[in-house]
Amino acid sequence: MIERDLSFKLLLALFLGGFMAVVLASCTVGPDFLKPTPKMPEKWAEAPTSETTVKSLDLSQWWTIFKDPELDSLIERGVQANLDLRIAEARIREARAQRVVVASAAYPEIDATGVYSRARTSENANTTKVTAMPGGANLFLAGFDASWEIDVFGGVRRAVEAANADIAVTVENRRDVLVTLLAEVARNYLEVRGSQARLGVAEKNIFTQQQALEIAKARYEAGLSSELDVAQAQAQLATTEAEIPALETSLRQAIHQLGVLLGESPESLLTELLPMGPIPTGPPAIPAGLPSDLLRRRPDIRQAEQELAGATARIGVVTADLFPKFFLTGLVGQSSVSGSDFIQASSRYWSVGPTINWPVFTAGRLRAQVAVQNAREEQAAIRYERTVLTALKDVEDALIAYSKEQVTRDSLIQAVKANRLASDIANELYTRGLVDFLNVLVTQRAEYTSEDALTQSAQRVSSNLVALFKALGGGWEVD
């Protein structure tokens, strides 16, 4: 009766071992993770008005605030095909698979064995002479063996906690990559439009300077001025023309970078983006919300928090190694030297029993491992604090940059108006012979310089707005 119920007894023993593991589940060594609560400022110091510190803008699709269909299209394609994003997705799958590997340690491991062998024992070498079989012997063997480490002190449970944190880290890392991707696509697109606008300013001034050169030549040929005026006009025209290649280089390099960000070849977007378009602009102020919003919105902060959670759980993993390990092992099967009686009850064998393993002397290795993990947890806590401070700095920097660059842009608008008027007056007076050509050169150069500076400032205003959206952690919700 006992032999017929061996399989049942083995399963019963494993069940009892599992029950004991549940009873002892509360014996989980190591510290529990406590969500950090960093001290956050009550409002943004660089916010232009108090209203922006209270309200919060929906940042899930912040790029649509520019109302540029081309930018919207580039963003959508980048989210679908960016290679860095695909690498981050593969890391998530890796972490999820690794979690299965770690969690499997909490379950019994069962192996099946099947053996057939034939052997001949030497009659002369066998001292007993009793079992020697001149014709050889068969061996038939088949069975199952099981081993289960009962997680009494929670080492496996802590390892699963750490693996869960690792999954969360990879998820937040992908979101952080997405936030960076969105900002990079927008920034490079603004560089494309900014370079095109600067090219337009340069080409307009080249046309104006060519006209001035023709006037200088006509007055020189009429004997109304010296050749010096012609030489100065030619020098200024050549100086402006020399700036065109650098602007064209910046334009094409930005398009090349956009192609790579979209997972395409660098030249793939040239036909689409070379036609000139305006620099996208946003509103004068953005409701930045409260500084505490960053803790839930910035993926890099949440990633640092999960890294801290994983480091805390791993303290429990190595601490559990200081305590005894309990195993429940068992095996059951059939074994015979003859195939005819292999399946009979008399050929059955079994074994079941607990095992304990407790390291007595390791020369301090185990306690040193605990100290190592404690130090890593401390580093993770410091990295979290640093990440929060960096996030606060990013937002404050972006707020002040966006606000002050708008002041610069408004001043340059007035400068351009004044320089255009001065240039028109100087040209008219020179044509009438009332001033020398130096006045024309000075006012034309000032007009071009202020127009180019205004174009760059307009691009920086929009780029600073993109930097603000990135600093606020917006855009990953598009997932």
CATH number of the CATH domain containing 16: 2.20.200.10
Same domain, 9 and 126: yes
> Looking at the structure, do residues 219 and 192 belong to the same domain, yes or no?
yes
245 and 344 part of one domain: no
Q: Are residues 371 and 303 in the same domain?
A: yes
Cβ atoms within 10 Å, residue 431: 15
Q: What DSSP state is assigned to residue 288?
A: B
Q: Give the model's pLDDT for residue 121.
A: 66
Which pLDDT belongs to residue 52? 45
pLDDT at 284: 87
Nearest to 84 by CA among 217, 254, 226, 263: 263
User: If you ran DSSP here, which 8-state letter would residue 118 be given?
Assistant: E
- Tens place of pLDDT for every residue, the chain, 479 residues? 444 454 555 445 545 555 554 545 457 888 999 999 999 998 998 887 644 445 667 888 999 999 999 999 999 999 999 999 999 999 999 999 999 999 888 877 777 777 767 777 666 655 554 444 555 677 667 777 777 778 888 888 999 999 999 999 999 999 999 999 999 999 999 999 999 999 999 999 999 889 889 988 988 888 888 889 899 889 999 999 999 999 999 999 999 999 999 999 999 999 999 999 999 999 988 888 889 888 889 999 999 999 999 999 999 999 988 888 887 887 777 777 777 777 777 778 777 778 888 888 888 888 999 999 999 999 999 999 999 999 999 999 999 999 999 999 999 999 999 999 999 999 889 888 888 888 888 999 999 999 999 999 999 999 999 999 999 998 887 66
Neighbours of 18 (CB within 10 A): 16
48 with 131, same domain: the answer is: no
Instruction: List the domain range (segments joined by +) for residue 114.
Output: 1-30+109-150+324-357
Residue 109: predicted pLDDT = 77
Query: Which residues are within 8 A (CB) of 263 and not within 5 positions of it... i.e. 6 or more apart?
Result: 78, 81, 82, 83, 86
Residues 411, 394, single domain; the answer is yes
Which helix (H) or strand (E) element contains residue 336? strand 325-336
- DSSP for residue 45: T
What is the strand order of the sheet 137-150 is part of? 109-119, 137-150, 325-336, 348-357
Cα-flanking dihedrals φ and ψ of residue 298, to 5°? -85, 120
Q: Are residues 25 and 115 in the same domain?
A: yes
Q: Identify whether the C-beta of residue 174 lies closer than 8 Å to the C-beta of residue 85.
A: yes
Neighbour tally for 78: CB within 10 Å:
22
Please report the pLDDT score of residue 53 as a whole number: 46
Whether residues 208 and 134 share a domain: the answer is no
Indicate if 342 and 436 belong to the same structural domain: no
Single residue among 341, 357, 373 that ends a domain in this structure: 357
Which value, to the nearest 10 degrees, does the dihedral of the CA atoms of residues 89, 91, 95, 96 take? Answer: 30
Last residue of a domain, one of 332, 357, 382: 357
pLDDT of residue 362: 80
Q: How far apart are CA 255 and CA 47, in angstroms?
A: 33
Identify the CA nearest to 396 among candidates 105, 147, 133, 45: 45
Q: How far, in Å, CA of 326 to CA of 304, rounded?
A: 35
**Do 444 and 471 reside in the same domain of the chain?**
yes
| Number of domains present in the structure of the chain | 2
Please state, in angstroms and rounded to a whole number, the distance separating the CA atoms of residues 84 and 183.
14
**Number of helices and strands (H, E) in the chain?**
12, 4
Same domain, 213 and 274: yes
CATH of the domain at 159: 1.20.1600.10
Find all residues with CB under 8 Å of 198, minimum gap 6, and list them.
Answer: 247, 452, 455, 456
Are residue 144 and residue 244 in the same domain, yes or no?
A: no
pLDDT of residue 4: 46
pTM listed for this prediction: 0.84
Q: What are the φ and ψ backbone dihedral angles of 20, each rounded to 5 degrees?
A: -65, -35
Burial class (CB in 10 A: 0-12, 13-18, 19+), 196: buried
